[in-house]
Amino acid sequence: MLNAATLFDDDHASFFGISIDPADETLGRLKERYPGYRYFFDADLTISRLYGACPRSQQPVSTGIPYRRQWIVLDPAMRVVARLPLREDGSDHAELLRRLKELPPPSHHAGIEIPAPILLLPNVFEPELCQRLIDLYHASQPEDSGFMREQEGLTVAAIDHAHKQRRDVGIDDEALINTLKQRVIRRVVPEIRKAFQFNVTRMERYIVAGYSEHHGGHFKPHRDNTTKGTAHRRFALSMNLN
């Protein structure tokens, strides 16, 4: 499958390999390749049990795990649409590629284009406040912005420029924070309640974030609440300042 880069391009499809051999990770035998190719190291069998590759009662052991080697095709809603066992003669490769090529574009997997659950609101901050925040950013020393990752049961901060390239300035002026908070309470919170039936009660932090063209600013597709330390997050709020 590593020679199917034109198919696994992160636009039409992505490849996720699952390994239960700890040496694949420690010895670097499996390496991610962008775009398209990523690996999960599943020594504790969490993923394997979820997708039926081994019995749900199976506990991690060094040898002798009954394991079903298979391809699983997921749609953009993370539902299983196909399951193909690996075959000794390799004929499963051709069948998998044929099925993937027959799939519609991910954005039209339901027959029509399905937008992300995003609420777009104009005129939350007035231009003068936007400029004030931009000036604050340029007058400060922006710092590399990381993201949270789960490691050995703990939520830890990580920096990976292949995944995220952004520089942030924290806002610590209480008067400015209160100004921002009041606008969000008046102009955003009621709209979230109307659209999503969710009553927002708190904001986690206030920052000005810069995605610089000079530094190749980007943040790859992600979810904000996938670790124990960030599980409380329900919405990400981004204000375009310029």
* β-strand pairing of 15-19 with 37-41: parallel
Through-space distance between the first and last CA atoms of the chain, rounded to whole angstroms: 42
- Residues in the chain, how many? 242
Using the structure block, give the residue that is written with the tokens 């390799």: 90
pLDDT in tens, the chain (242 residues): 666 768 899 888 999 999 999 999 999 999 888 888 999 999 999 999 999 999 988 888 877 888 999 999 999 888 999 999 999 998 999 999 999 999 999 989 988 988 888 999 999 999 999 999 999 999 999 999 989 888 888 888 889 998 899 999 999 999 999 999 999 999 999 999 999 999 999 999 999 999 999 889 999 888 889 898 999 999 999 999 99
Query: Contact 54/45 with Cβ under 8 angstroms?
Result: yes
Q: How high is the pLDDT of residue 1?
A: 61
The predicted pLDDT at position 215 comes to: 85
Q: What's the pLDDT at 189?
A: 97
Question: Cβ(71)–Cβ(13) under 8 Å?
Answer: no
Q: How far apart are CA 153 and CA 149, in angstroms?
A: 10
Contacts of 241 (CB under 8 A, 6+ apart): 125, 130, 131, 133, 134, 208
Which residues sit opposite 143 in a β-bridge?
A: 168
Backbone angles phi, psi at 82, to 5 degrees: -160, 150
Alpha helix (H) residue ranges in the chain: 22-26, 46-50, 91-102, 127-139, 174-187, 189-196
The token pair at 235 is 């919405």
Q: What is the pTM of this model?
A: 0.66
- Per-residue pLDDT, 2: 63
